[in-house]
C-alpha cells in the first residue's frame, strides 16, 4: 500500500510564533513553473529571488491550507495572503516552499517500492509476450 497522503502537516517557529499549516503536494504544472528557479547551488540572484517570490505568491495559496499561528505585534492573526505578499516574511515563505518541494517528491523507500513494482510489471509483460499468461499474476 502506498504511503501517499494528499496533505502533509507542516510546523515551524517564525518571529516568536509557532506556525502550522497543511501542504498539498505540488502538481506537475506547478513544478514546471518553479523549475527555472531551482538549482543545485541553492543560491539565486536578487532579480531571480524577486521573480521566484512572485511565482510563489501565486502558487502557495493553492497548496497551503489551514495556515495558523502567526500574529502581528498587536496580536492580530496574519493570514497566508499577507505572508506571500510582504517581503518581511520571505524567510518563512522560503521554509514553506522548501517543505512543499520535499513533500512533493517520493521518499527513497517509495521509489524503491515503485521500481520493484515496475520489475514485476516487466516480468508479467515478458511472460504475456511469451504466451505464459496466468490469471492473477503480477
64 and 120 assigned to the same domain: no
User: What whole-number percentage of the chain has pLDDT above 90?
Assistant: 40
84: pLDDT strictly greater than 50: yes
**2 within some domain:** no
132 and 97 in a common domain: no
Q: Name the most confidently modeled range: 2-6, 88-92, 117-121.
A: 88-92
Q: What is the pTM of this model?
A: 0.71
Q: Tell me the per-residue pLDDT of 4-24, one tens digit each, with 9 for 90 and over.
A: 889 999 999 999 999 999 999
CA distance 11 to 42: 22
Number of domains into which the chain is organized:
2
Residues 45 and 80 in one domain: yes
Residue 126 belongs to some domain of the structure = yes
Q: Are residues 84 and 99 in the same domain?
A: yes
CA distance 64 to 24: 6
Domain match, 112 and 101 both: no
**112 and 95 together in one domain:** no
Once rounded to an integer, what is the mean pLDDT over residues 69-85?
96
Q: How many residues does the chain have?
A: 138
The verdict on 95 and 115 lying in the same domain is no
Mean pLDDT over all residues of the chain?
A: 79
Domain membership flag for residue 1: no
Instruction: Give the list of residues 6+ apart from residue 59 with CB closer than 8 angstroms, or none.
Output: 30, 33, 34
Tens of pLDDT, residues 32-63? 888 887 776 666 677 777 777 788 888 899 99
CA dihedral 33→5→96→115, nearest 10 degrees, is: -60
**Residue 93 structural domain:** 7-105
Amino acid at each position: 500500500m502506498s504511503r501517499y497522503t494528499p496533505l502533509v502537516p507542516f510546523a515551524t517557529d517564525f518571529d516568536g510564533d509557532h506556525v502550522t499549516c497543511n501542504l498539498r503536494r505540488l502538481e506537475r504544472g506547478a513544478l514546471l513553473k518553479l523549475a527555472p528557479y531551482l538549482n543545485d547551488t541553492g543560491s539565486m540572484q536578487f532579480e531571480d529571488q524577486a521573480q521566484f517570490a512572485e511565482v510563489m505568491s501565486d502558487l502557495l495559496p493553492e497548496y497551503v491550507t489551514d495556515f495558523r499561528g502567526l500574529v502581528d505585534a498587536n496580536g492580530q492573526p496574519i493570514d497566508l495572503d499577507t505572508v506571500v505578499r510582504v517581503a518581511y516574511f520571505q524567510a518563512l515563505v522560503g521554509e514553506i516552499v522548501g517543505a512543499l518541494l520535499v513533500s512533493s517528491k517520493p521518499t527513497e523507500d517509495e521509489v524503491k517500492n515503485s521500481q520493484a513494482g515496475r520489475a514485476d510489471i516487466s516480468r508479467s509483460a515478458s511472460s504475456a509476450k511469451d504466451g505464459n499468461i496466468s490469471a492473477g499474476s503480477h
